[in-house]
Amino acid sequence: MNTTKILQNLHIDALNPMQTNALSASESKNNIILLSPTGSGKTVAFLLPILSKLNKEVNGVQAVILAPSRELALQIEDVFKKMATGFKINSCYGGHSTKIEVNNLSSPPAVLVGTPGRIAFHIRENNFSTNNVSSFVLDEFDKALEMGFQNDMDFIINSFKNVQFRMLTSATNLKKIPDFTGIENPERIQFLKNEESQPDLTYKKVISKSEEKLETVVKLVSKIGKETVVIFCNHRDAVDRISEALTKKGVSNGSFHGGLDQSDRERALMKFRNKSSRVLITTDLAARGLDIPEIGHVIHYQIPDKEDAFIHRNGRTARMKAKGIIYVMITNEEHFDFIDPEMPLEDLSGNYKTENATDFKTIYISAGKKDKVNKVDIVGYLIKTGGLNKEDIGLIEVKDTQAFVAVSSYKIKALLASLENTKLKNKKVKIPLARD
């Protein structure tokens, strides 16, 4: 392995102390736990050890990297490709075409990175062999546990019969490493500071009569204002009721539960990510492993039966010293052992104006990766043909046959008019507002 050449390809002058320690430890240790803050370079710290153990003579998947979100999986794939090692890598994640992934796996990569749910799917379907997997990495393991991926990770790891190297990374201190990881007597590489281990969460109790709970949650959302909110429910019908009530008030929102079509769920998440929608209402089942940004407010409209589900929900908000507010909505008749009876009350006695406006709206473009369209193409098109400024363009998501773009709400009407009957990369495209 030519580390110097790899660092040049990555435009890195030298490894930092954490990366150096990780690489050095991997030369003699087969079980490593790396504790280091987000943004400290953990991706390079585990890719170099993985790379050093790949064998060009082996045909098949040799290393599996599990990441808790699609963004992280794609980031890892991108870094590995920039290393220009000659080894193939593929990523698998929810929302991506399984057909494309199966096709990629028919000529198996040396390294496979993906979310636990999707990797587990491919193993169950026998889309790739686990016989040659000799290394695995559990990246951001703390987040993966928060998101409820334990069962999938357990299944995946138990399918590996010839593992020789295990590595786990986390941005928080871990009290106990679950047995299913197979990590025994690990070398711990500690680069965390004590104050980085816990987020700053504020808990507030909202008392409501059961028959007035829907009215109360609408009032709470109005008081929170323009900031993003996730509302958790135990049942699908509660999700639908809240969504309907907020929609009547003109509040942009999305629903996410198992009774909705996959396309509807993906669109709700996409609009929440790109700030076209500021409220996401979801069930616990659907909330496991949600690919959503860090948020400042979590509302428990209904309280789960078990404390670990309650903790998982709260994990959707503040991380890495960010601040988050957790609202617990209960009636005077409800009592839960894990809810602090002394929790301060949220005052909702005032009158609050409902905030309807969002900074962005989402447009749909009828072209994607298969049309050789990328984010750079779209930005150039919207600026040159649509007359937008760079700051008018928000998050862009390019899929296989379509793309979605967040555009400044104030520019949307003029943009749609200027793009009518125009071409993107010599292809005539349809560009309406994305449907709700």
* pLDDT tier, 289 (very low <50, low <70, confident <90, very high otherwise): very low
Q: What percent of the chain has pLDDT over 90?
A: 53
**pLDDT(259) > 90:** no
pLDDT value of position 57 = 93
| Nearest Cα residue to 364 out of 389, 396, 410, 409 | 396
**pLDDT(186) > 90:** yes
Gap between the Cα atoms of 202 and 193, Å rounded: 21
Gap between the Cα atoms of 111 and 154, Å rounded: 19
Give the tens place of pLDDT for each residue, 395-417.
Answer: 898 888 889 999 999 999 999 99
Gap between the Cα atoms of 289 and 115, Å rounded: 9
Gap between the Cα atoms of 308 and 29, Å rounded: 33
Pairing of strands 111-114, 31-35: unpaired
| Mean pLDDT (whole number) for 74-83 | 91
Helices (H), 174-326: 213-224, 236-248, 262-273, 284-287, 307-314
Q: Residues near 44 by Cβ (< 8 Å), separated by ≥ 6?
A: 10, 12, 15, 19, 79
- Show the domains of the chain with their CATH numbers: 3-195 (3.40.50.300), 200-330 (3.40.50.300), 360-428 (3.30.70.330)
- Report CA torsion sign: 90, 362, 320, 41: positive
The answer to whether 397 and 404 are in contact (CB under 8 A) is yes
Q: Residues near 28 by Cβ (< 8 Å), separated by ≥ 6?
A: none
| Nearest Cα residue to 92 out of 70, 125, 72 | 70
Neighbours of 275 (CB within 10 A): 20
Q: Which residue has better confidence, 309 or 145?
A: 145
**pLDDT(148) > 90:** no
Query: Residue 311 is encoded by which pair of tokens?
Result: 């903790």
Residues making up the chain, counted from first to last: 436
Q: Residues near 289 by Cβ (< 8 Å), separated by ≥ 6?
A: 68, 69, 94, 115, 116, 117, 147, 148, 149
| Mean pLDDT (whole number) for 23-31 | 94
Gap between the Cα atoms of 252 and 271, Å rounded: 9
Per 3-state DSSP, the chain is made up of helix, strand and coil in percentages (nearest 5) of 35, 20, 45
Q: Which residue has the tokens 């003579």?
A: 57
* pLDDT tier, 369 (very low <50, low <70, confident <90, very high otherwise): confident
**pLDDT(292) > 80:** no
